[in-house]
């Protein structure tokens, strides 16, 4: 257990005892991480605030249910935040045209050279349905059955969305001169 995890564990115990100072410290430590997680699903800043508020309330109210033996606190908190983000996202569904399916090769190392902000901004251009599945599958590590349950869709549909998301990503990046260059003409 690292120092930060040890510190988190102390704060969690403090939160369980009702220590307001521990709650504040835990909130401060988790805020950037959970905001980053919520940001992957919610694009609007105000919505991010709402989702974070709801997520933190759920986290503090359900701290008794957290079992350290089953995983890290960050993962557990991120799952709650992602669930809240998806639930809120359903309420604000937006309709986007599915992208055309073209096959372009992309060098995996190119993604490492792209600035993170650029990467996020590029990915935000993806249809939300696909973007959700891509995040849940690739980043969060859910399987299609779990994603289907979270999004209220069939697992096969999740699989299809992931395929389209993959194609979308490959369609919008190209490798030129050893650097990753987003194909801006395809981002519109």
Partner 1 sequence: MKNWEEILKNRLSSYQEKGTPGQEETLWNSIESQIAPATSNSSATGSKLFTNWGSWAIAVVAVFGVTAAAIFYSSEAPQNTKATIETQQVTAISTESVLPSDQITQKANPLLQSPVESEPSTSALVASALPTAASTEPEASSETNTPFETRATNIAKKGINLASNAPAPPTNEDDTSTPSTNKNSIEINPSLAKEATSETALDLALAAPSIEPTTSAVEEVSAKTPSYPSAPLAVEYAHENAQTTGPETNSESARKLPPMLFLPLVREAPIKPIQRLAIQPDNNSQESEVGMPFALRAYGGPTVSQFAYGDGREPEFNEFFRANFSAGCGLMLEFQKWSQSFAVGIAWNEFIQHLDYTEHSEHAITTEGVLSVQINEITGDTMAVVLGDVEGIERQTRDISHYNRFRAFALPIEWQKQQYFGRWQLGIGLGALIQLRSYAEGRTIDTNGLVSDYSDSNLAQTRLNWMPTGRLYTGFYIAPEWRADFSLSAGLQRFNNGYSGENQENGVPEWRGRMVNGQVQIGITRFFAARIKSE
Local structure of residue 107 (DSSP, 8 states): -
The answer to the question of residue 138 lying near partner 1 (CB under 8 A) is: yes
149 binds partner 1 (CB under 8 A): no
157 belongs to the binding site for partner 1 (CB under 8 A): yes
Alpha helices in 62-181 (DSSP H): 73-91, 110-113, 116-123, 128-134, 144-151, 155-171
Only one of the segments 3-11, 30-38, 65-73, 84-92 lies at the binding site for partner 1 (rule: CB under 8 A); that segment is 30-38
| Alpha carbon separation from 38 to 45, 71, 84, 164 (Å, rounded) | 10, 20, 9, 22
Which positions from 98 through 137 interact with partner 1, judged by CB under 8 A? 98, 106, 108-112, 116, 119-120, 129, 135
Instruction: Report if residue 71 touches partner 1, rule: CB under 8 A.
Output: no
Among 1, 9, 21, 139, binds partner 1 (CB under 8 A): 139
Alpha-carbon 59 to chain mean position? 17
Residue 37 CB coordination number (10 Å): 25
Q: Answer yes or no whether residue 183 interacts with partner 1 by CB under 8 A.
A: no
Half-sphere CA count of 46, side-chain side, radius 13 A: 1
The crossing angle, in degrees rounded to 10, of helices 73-91 and 20-39 is 60
How far is 187 from 179, CA to CA, in rounded Å?
A: 18
Nearest approach, Cβ of 36 to partner 1 (angstroms)? 4
Q: How many residues of this chain bind partner 1 (CB under 8 A)?
A: 59
- Least Å distance, CB 13 to partner 1, is 13
Residues lying near partner 1 in the complex (CB under 8 A): 15-20, 23-24, 27-28, 31-33, 35-37, 39-40, 49, 52-53, 56-57, 60-61, 95-98, 106, 108-112, 116, 119-120, 129, 135, 138-141, 143-145, 153-157, 159-161, 163, 166, 169-170
């Amino acid at each position: 257990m690292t120092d930060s995890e040890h510190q988190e564990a102390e704060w969690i115990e403090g939160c369980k005892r009702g220590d307001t100072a521990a709650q504040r410290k835990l909130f401060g430590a988790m805020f950037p991480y959970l905001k980053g997680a919520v940001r992957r699903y919610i694009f609007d800043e105000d919505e991010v605030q709402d989702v974070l508020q709801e997520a933190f309330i759920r986290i503090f109210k359900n701290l008794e249910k957290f079992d350290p033996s089953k995983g890290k606190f960050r993962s557990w908190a991120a799952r709650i935040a992602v669930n809240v983000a998806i639930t809120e996202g359903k309420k604000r569904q937006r309709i986007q045209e599915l992208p055309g399916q073209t096959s372009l090769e992309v060098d995996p190392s190119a993604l490492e050279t792209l600035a993170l902000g650029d990467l996020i901004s590029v990915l935000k251009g993806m249809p939300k349905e696909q973007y959700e599945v891509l995040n849940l599958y690739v980043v969060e590590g859910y399987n299609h059955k779990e994603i289907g349950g979270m999004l209220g869709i069939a697992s096969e549909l999740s699989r299809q969305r992931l395929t389209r998301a993959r194609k979308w990503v490959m369609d919008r990046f190209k490798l030129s001169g050893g650097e990753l260059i987003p194909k801006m003409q395809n981002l519109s």
